[in-house]
């Protein structure tokens, strides 16, 4: 799967005592979210989200307890469905591609049993195309980035206009010119760091 896509593991009906163990290429290379008891269309289910942040091989182990039968489906929410060579299902959470399932067990009796699901992931980065490749933030982060960029541009414009008129009247010293250049470079670097933070690189 791709970096920053979200793997979704759904277990029906809802199960108990979910634990997620994993190994990843980096200690901070993965995010995991567990929802033990969700409801959709009158059905109760458990949900695990896995969000890889770096390339490499991941081993995911989901352990839980359940009474009776259960089934599991595995899919991915993605912004680049063509990578998976499957047609996505459009959902409120974005394009969704089923990968595996449903699978599970048909247990007899009313006894609680321990189960585990093992998933091996090979995570790849997005291939760049052309001379430049820009990774865009989510729409919310994009709006925040636009607001911050506007504020920085307004700040810089004020000093540039002030320098322009002072240069017309009394000339611009080399020190003031150097400070303006440093300010512009610092602004560009600041916006770059904000962009990196928002896209999670």
pLDDT of 59 higher than 80: yes
The domain segmentation of the chain, as residue ranges, is 6-123, 139-199
Q: pLDDT averaged over the chain? A: 81
Report the C-alpha gap between 44 and 166 in whole angstroms.
Answer: 69
3-state SS assignment for residue 199: helix
Tell me the pLDDT tens digit for each residue of 170-201: 776 777 778 888 888 888 888 888 777 766 54
Q: Which of the two residues, 197 and 46, has the higher pLDDT score?
A: 46
Give the closest residue to 17 by CA, choosing from 105, 115, 151, 110. 115
Tell me the pLDDT tens digit for each residue of 74-92: 999 988 888 888 888 888 8
pLDDT recorded at residue 184: 86
Tell me the pLDDT tens digit for each residue of 130-166: 333 445 555 666 777 788 888 888 888 887 887 777 7
pLDDT recorded at residue 134: 47
pLDDT recorded at residue 161: 80
């Amino acid at each position: 799967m791709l970096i920053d896509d979200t793997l979704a593991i759904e277990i029906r009906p809802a199960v108990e005592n979910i634990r997620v163990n994993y190994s990843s290429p980096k200690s901070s290379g993965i995010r995991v979210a567990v929802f033990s008891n969700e409801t959709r269309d009158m059905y109760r289910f458990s949900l695990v989200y896995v969000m890889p942040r770096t390339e490499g091989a991941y081993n995911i182990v989901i352990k839980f307890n359940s009474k009776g039968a259960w089934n599991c489906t595995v899919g991915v929410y993605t912004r680049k469905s063509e990578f998976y060579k499957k047609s996505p299902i459009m959902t409120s959470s974005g394009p969704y591609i089923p990968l595996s399932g449903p699978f599970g067990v048909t247990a007899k009796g009313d006894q609680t049993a321990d189960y585990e699901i093992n998933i091996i992931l090979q995570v790849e980065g997005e291939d760049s195309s052309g001379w430049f490749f820009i990774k865009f933030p989510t729409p919310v982060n994009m709006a925040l980035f636009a607001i911050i960029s506007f504020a920085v541009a307004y700040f810089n414009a004020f000093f540039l206009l002030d320098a322009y008129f002072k240069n017309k009247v009394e000339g611009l010293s080399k020190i003031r010119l150097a400070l303006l250049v440093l300010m512009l470079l610092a602004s560009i670097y600041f916006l770059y760091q904000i962009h990196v933070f928002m896209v999670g690189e």
